[in-house]
């Protein structure tokens, strides 16, 4: 089911209502603005990979993939009922978490006809609480009913392999690291204070997008040169 967040982002990017939900051949396009096709994807990018590859053959395409910075959790006792409590989640999202999704655009990004835009947003997440949990081990005891846009802070546009560095926090990536003769996933993990397996995913995407070039290997792992 389409969330309020998806609907609100369509209105945010359209300049008139007739630009929204336009049928083009076998596809339904979220927004067509001038000559650009805009696809807003709040779910996994894997779901639109084939569609994007087909559209890029003939049209300029903008993929809008929001990155959630803060979430306000709004609880309801029953589905569709009044909100009984609100609180900010202590978890703060980071733009570099998007690399987990960019794996699905391997072989798609970069492309001359493609812009990937990442709006940094705050959202309200509406949950209704189950009276009884299911027997599934990981059942959280609630159902997410809707996600609603609260605020757009800024947007990051990616068009080239080098733009992928914009998803990493500037204050944590020293120029010495970008200009180094070689770096590995351990260097990156220490720079952005994340587990090494996350740094490995980031490097994997950067390597396949030609933002990093492998230069050799030693006991610490594969080393890369910033392209």
Predicted local distance difference test score (pLDDT) of residue 100: 93
Q: How far apart are alpha carbons 12 and 57 in whole angstroms? A: 26
Predicted local distance difference test score (pLDDT) of residue 188: 87
**Beta pairing partners, 126:** 74, 146
Predicted local distance difference test score (pLDDT) of residue 176: 58
Predicted local distance difference test score (pLDDT) of residue 5: 96
Q: How far apart are alpha carbons 169 and 151 in whole angstroms? A: 20
Helices (H), 31-182: 49-56, 99-102, 175-178
How crowded is residue 187: how many other Cβ atoms within 10 Å of its Cβ? 17
Q: What is the pLDDT along the chain (227 residues), one digit of tens a residue?
A: 689 999 999 999 999 999 999 999 899 999 999 999 999 999 999 999 999 999 999 999 999 999 999 999 999 888 888 888 999 999 998 888 999 999 999 999 999 999 999 999 999 999 987 766 556 666 667 888 999 999 999 999 999 999 998 998 765 565 656 666 678 898 888 888 889 999 999 999 999 999 999 988 888 888 888 87
Predicted local distance difference test score (pLDDT) of residue 63: 98
CB 31 within 8 A of CB 40: yes
Predicted local distance difference test score (pLDDT) of residue 81: 85
Predicted local distance difference test score (pLDDT) of residue 42: 94
CB 67 within 8 A of CB 121: yes
Q: Model confidence over 179-225: pLDDT tens digits?
A: 666 788 988 888 888 899 999 999 999 999 999 999 888 888 888 88
Predicted local distance difference test score (pLDDT) of residue 174: 57
Predicted local distance difference test score (pLDDT) of residue 40: 97
Residue 58: closest CA among 116, 115, 14, 114: 114
Task: Give the containing element (helix H, strand E) for 68.
Answer: strand 67-76
Domains of the chain and any CATH numbers: 1-159 (no CATH), 161-227 (1.10.10.10)
Q: How far apart are alpha carbons 10 and 19 in whole angstroms? A: 9
Angle, CA 153 vertex, CA 46 and CA 111 arms, to 5°: 40
Radius of gyration of the chain (CA): 20
**Beta pairing partners, 214:** 224
Predicted local distance difference test score (pLDDT) of residue 123: 97
Predicted local distance difference test score (pLDDT) of residue 112: 95
Task: Give the containing element (helix H, strand E) for 18.
Answer: none
């Amino acid at each position: 089911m389409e969330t309020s967040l998806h609907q609100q982002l369509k209105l945010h990017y359209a300049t008139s209502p007739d630009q929204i939900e336009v049928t083009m051949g076998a596809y339904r396009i979220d927004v067509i603005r001038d000559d650009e096709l805009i696809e807003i994807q709040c779910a996994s990018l894997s779901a639109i990979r084939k569609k994007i590859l087909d559209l890029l053959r003939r049209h300029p395409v903008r993929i809008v993939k929001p990155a959630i910075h803060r979430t306000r959790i709004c609880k309801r006792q029953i589905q569709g009922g009044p909100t009984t409590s609100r609180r900010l989640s202590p978890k703060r999202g980071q733009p570099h978490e998007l690399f987990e999704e960019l794996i699905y655009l391997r072989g798609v990004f970069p492309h001359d006809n493609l812009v990937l835009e990442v709006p940094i947003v705050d959202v309200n997440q509406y949950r209704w609480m189950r009276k009884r949990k299911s027997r599934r081990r990981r059942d959280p005891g609630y159902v997410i009913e809707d996600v609603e846009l609260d605020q757009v802070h800024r947007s990051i546009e990616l068009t080239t392999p080098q733009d992928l560095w914009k998803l990493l926090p500037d204050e944590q990536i020293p120029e010495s690291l970008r200009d180094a003769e070689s770096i590995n996933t351990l260097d990156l993990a220490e720079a952005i204070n994340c587990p090494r397996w996350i740094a490995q995913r980031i490097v994997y995407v950067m390597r396949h997008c030609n933002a990093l070039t492998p230069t050799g290997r030693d006991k610490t792992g594969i080393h890369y040169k910033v392209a």
